[in-house]
Amino acid sequence: MSWASLQAQTFTDMSQLLQPGYPLGTKTGQRGASAADYNNDGLVDLYHSNFDSPGRLYLNQGADGFRDVLAEIDLDEGTNMWGAAFGDYDNDGYFDIIFEDLSAPSKLYRNNRNGTFTEVNAAANVAVNTLAQGAAWDDYNLDGKLDLFIVNDVGPNQLFKNLDFQTFTDISISANVQTVGNSYGVSWGDINGDGYPDAYIATCHPNDPLRSINHLLLNNGDETFTNIGQAAGVADSLAGWGVLIFDYDQDGDDDIFSTNSYHAPRPGYNRLYRNEGNNTFSNVSVSAGVAGGMQENSYGCSVADFDNDGWLDIYITNVPQRDRLYHNNGDGTFTD
């Protein structure tokens, strides 16, 4: 795509469709956002979490915009929310939701298939530590059931194995995934092409680099994992937040992207690791054009092909700096 064509790609602010919205210029403690068609009407709905006020679950009404239905369906998300992850753990065709709570055990809600949800932590045997920062669903053991990985700021991370589409068991110790604390982001992906999902975890501690070492958990295929972060070259001790695993260069193997915030003297450069195909990675952040600024504070990130050219692009949220949209040029580089 030429530079002129790239410049022609524009977006229109449709925030007015979100009712009620957030007044411009207000600080609401906004934290995370996720999207899923939770009522199976063919329209994608939105959840928006807040740290110091109730979040919003926006029902997509098509031409009529969005309506916040969190209160009317009596969905008690929690107190200080970091985010949420949708996944159909009971395999009924409807998205369920796990909330990430910073001050209380996170809540798992089963979708009742009628526009409402039921909290099922006790029934499902999901006892989540406090200060959950990230959650990701995937079938780690390839048994056809979605499992749940939750990473925590305080206390060990937790992997919940789905037993029967209804209940879970915490296998964190036996699976060797109990990296302790300061974990902020997690993503699944198959980095060695064996068909089993591996996990990458971003960690962050403002004062101790040794507690900010990212982890790459290689799935051994026997319901255990091995942390190969150091050997793989992806264990930088920066201040990690967001994580993506995707094949940015379309060479057939999954690469890793991680956002970082600035904590002097540690820089806030983001990291793009190219998969070399032998359980090792190369840091190509600078040459690919996605490192950002040394004193930049990058937090959330997402990936999508925004211009439909067949290459996945990256969007990054920054505070207080401007957000960045990196266009994938298809040659191993990106343009901001």
Domains recognised in the chain with CATH numbers: 79-335 (2.130.10.10)
The residue among 46, 44, 92, 95 whose CA lies nearest residue 69 is 46
Q: Tell me the per-residue pLDDT of 106-125, one tens digit each, with 9 for 90 and over.
A: 899 999 999 999 999 999 99
* Choice among 6-10, 45-49, 328-332 with the minimum mean pLDDT: 6-10
Does the pTM surpass 0.75? The reply is yes
- 311/54 Cα distance (integer angstroms): 36
- Give the per-residue pLDDT at 310: 97
| 8 Å CB contact between 266 and 256 | no
Cα 165 to its chain centre, rounded Å, is 23
Report the DSSP pairing between strands 66-68 and 18-19: parallel
Q: Could you tell me the CA-to-CA distances from 102 to 31, 80, 128, 183, 324 in Å, in that order?
A: 11, 5, 11, 12, 27
H or E segment and range at residue 223: none
- 317/294 Cα distance (integer angstroms): 15
Is 90 exceeded by the pLDDT of residue 233? yes
241 — alpha (psi -120 to 50), left (phi > 0) or beta?
alpha
